[in-house]
Amino acid sequence: MRLRGQVSVLLTTDNAIRRLNRQFRGKDKPTDVLSFPVLARISRSRRWSPADRDIAGDLAISIPTARKQAKTLGHALSIEIKVLMLHGLLHLAGYDHETDGGEMARREERLRTKLRLPHGLIDRSVRA
């Protein structure tokens, strides 16, 4: 994925991820996964430290939402968390499925196939 640095993952509740989504994206609703690249964090705080070079960013995943999605799709919660992590990691690597003309979707599909994961988030939204 060409992502360098550490990634922290917060496994959280719908209420907590809703607050994060509202605070950072202006969307007042829960979501399944949020990505926070270190560069975005630095630009918000306007402070950079040498340690930031060893950090790729942060992910937040709502376990209740992941559990519902896993049940709906007929696979284990652990599989759904992997799908969400892959999607979030691609965002940390700089991909943006809303603006990249399908580049992220193609990359996600190749990695899902390699990792033997079911349909990813982008693929699901296209099929819906």
Domains in the chain with CATH codes: 6-119 (3.40.390.30)
Whether residue 47 has pLDDT greater than 80: no
* Segment 55-98, tens digit of pLDDT: 889 999 999 999 999 999 999 999 999 999 999 999 999 999 98
55: number of Cβ within 10 Å: 19
What's the pTM value of the predicted model, to 2 decimals? 0.85
Q: Which two tokens stand for residue 24?
A: 């950072």
User: What's the pLDDT at 42?
Assistant: 47
DSSP state, residue 18: H
Residue 69 Rama label (left phi>0; alpha psi -120 to 50; beta): alpha
User: What's the pLDDT at 4?
Assistant: 83
- The Cα 25–Cα 89 span in angstroms is 18
More confident residue, 2 or 21: 21
Question: What average pLDDT score do residues 104-122 get?
Answer: 89
